[in-house]
Amino acid sequence: MMKYRLHVLGVPHTITNADFCACAYTQKARLFCRMMHERGHHVIHYGHPDSDVECSEHVDVITRETFNRVYGEHDWKTHLFSFSHEDEAYQEYYRRANAALWEKRAGKLWTNEPCTDFLLPFWNGLKPIAQAHSDMIVVEPGIGYSSGHYAPYKVFESHALMHAYYGLDGARIGYMSWQNTVIPNYFDTDEYRYCEEKEDYLLFLARVGDAKGADIAIQVAEKAGRPLHVYGQGMDEFKADYEKANGPTSLIHWKGYADIETRRQAFSKAHALILPGKYLEPFGGTQVQALLSGTPLITSNWGAYAEVNDESVGFRCNTFREFVEAVEGVAEIDPAACRKRGERYTLEAIAPQYEKYFLGLMDQRTGKGWYAA
C-alpha cells in the first residue's frame, strides 16, 4: 500500500481534541489523524498547542494567548461557536500555518518533481492557506458545509450534499467531476457504549433550533406521551422562546451540552434518537453515534438521513402522524441490527476509502492520469 504525506489543518476557532465534540469538523480532523497515522501514513497536524491528536508530527500554529483573548470569554457550550475569518485568531493561524508549511516542504520545493504532499483543510475557512500552497494536492476532505468550497478536489460527506452542490445543472448538462467523491463521516467505536436494555425517553441531540427540528421533536414527544431529553448548543435561547410561546411541559427535559461521556450514556439508553430536520442534512453524525449504541432512528426523509437510516434501523417520516407512529414502531427494531449498520462508519471501514481516493489523485499528479490501471 502506498504511504502518503498528509498535512492536516484543524479548525482555528476550536482545539482538536475530544472536548470540542460539538464541532463535527474538529472531530473529523482528530479522528482522521488517528486512523491514517495508525495505517502508517505520515500525518502532520497544524493547530492549537492543547490539541490531542495521534499523528506523526504536531505543529503549533496558534498560541494559547491569542486563542483565549479572542474566544476565551465566549461560552460555546451554551451558545453556538462565535468566530470570524477576519479575527485575530484566524489571521494568526493563517500566517503561522503558511510559514510552517513552507518549512516542512523546504526540502522538496526546488526539485523538478511534482508535489505529492496532500494538504487537507478540515474547514471552509482555510481557503487562504490552500491558495498559498496550490502546488500541493489540495483536498477538502469532509465537506458538510453548504458554501465556501474552494479546493480542486472535494470529498463530500454524503451523496445528498454532492448532488445539491452540482444542482439541477448537473442533471441537465452533465458536468460532474471525476475528481470529487463521497466518503462518509467516521467514528471511534470505543467512544460509544452498545446497550440492548433501553429506557423510555426519546433523545434529541443536535444544535437546538428550528433547522434541526427541535420544535417537531417536542411536539412528537408530547403527542406520544414520552419524555424527551434535549441536548445541544443553543438550548437556552430556544427553550426560552419555545416556552414563552407554548408554556413549559413536564415531558421535556432540557439537559444542555453533552460531552463525550454524557453522549455515551444518553445514546446507549435512549428508546430512539429523533431528528426531524427541516433542511437537507449533510450527514447527521448523531445518527451513526446512536446506531453504534444500538439505538434506532426516527428522522426526516431527505438529505443524508436517506443514506444512513433504512428500514432495518429506523423510520424516515414525511408527516407528523408518521413521526408519532414511529415512536412505538422502533420498539421492534433489533439493537444488534443498529450496531451492525453503524459499523459501516468506523475508522477501520472508512480509512481504505480515503486511501483509494488518494491513489486516484496521485495517479493524476504523477502523470498516469485517469486511465491508470
Interatomic CA distance for residues 184 and 159, integer angstroms: 9
Indicate whether 295 pLDDT > 90.
yes
Q: Do residues 174 and 294 share a domain?
A: no
Summarize pLDDT for 173-219 with one digit per residue, the tens: 877 899 999 999 999 999 999 999 999 999 999 999 999 999 999 99
Q: Do residues 198 and 164 share a domain?
A: no
Interatomic CA distance for residues 4 and 23, integer angstroms: 26
Q: Under a CB-based contact definition with an 8 Å cutoff, are residues 178 and 370 in contact?
A: yes
Q: Do the domain assignments include residue 128?
A: yes
Q: Under a CB-based contact definition with an 8 Å cutoff, are residues 180 and 156 in contact?
A: yes
CA nearest to 152, candidates 172, 178, 170, 175:
178
Q: Do the domain assignments include residue 373?
A: no
Strands 228-231 vs 202-205: parallel, antiparallel or unpaired: parallel
Q: Do residues 256 and 293 share a domain?
A: yes
Helix (H/G/I), strand (E/B), else coil: 33: helix
Indicate whether 302 pLDDT > 60.
yes
Summarize pLDDT for 99-155 with one digit per residue, the tens: 999 998 765 655 667 789 999 999 999 999 999 999 999 999 999 999 999 999 999
CA nearest to 53, candidates 86, 78, 82, 28:
28
Q: Do residues 207 and 335 share a domain?
A: yes
Q: pTM of the entire structure?
A: 0.96
The label of the residue with cell 446507549 reads: 268
Domain count, the chain: 2
Q: Do residues 223 and 199 share a domain?
A: yes
Residues 6 or more apart from 96 whose CB is under 8 A from it? 60, 61, 62
Give the CATH number of the domain where residue 26 resides.
Answer: 3.40.50.2000
pLDDT at residue 169, rounded to an integer: 87
Q: Do residues 337 and 359 share a domain?
A: no
Neighbours of 341 (CB within 10 A): 21
**Domain of 335, in residue numbers:** 189-345
End-to-end CA distance of the chain: 15
Q: Do residues 356 and 300 share a domain?
A: no
CA nearest to 122, candidates 66, 47, 68:
47
Measure CA 306 to chain center: 17
Q: Do residues 167 and 270 share a domain?
A: no
Strands 314-317 vs 118-121: parallel, antiparallel or unpaired: unpaired
Q: Do residues 101 and 209 share a domain?
A: no
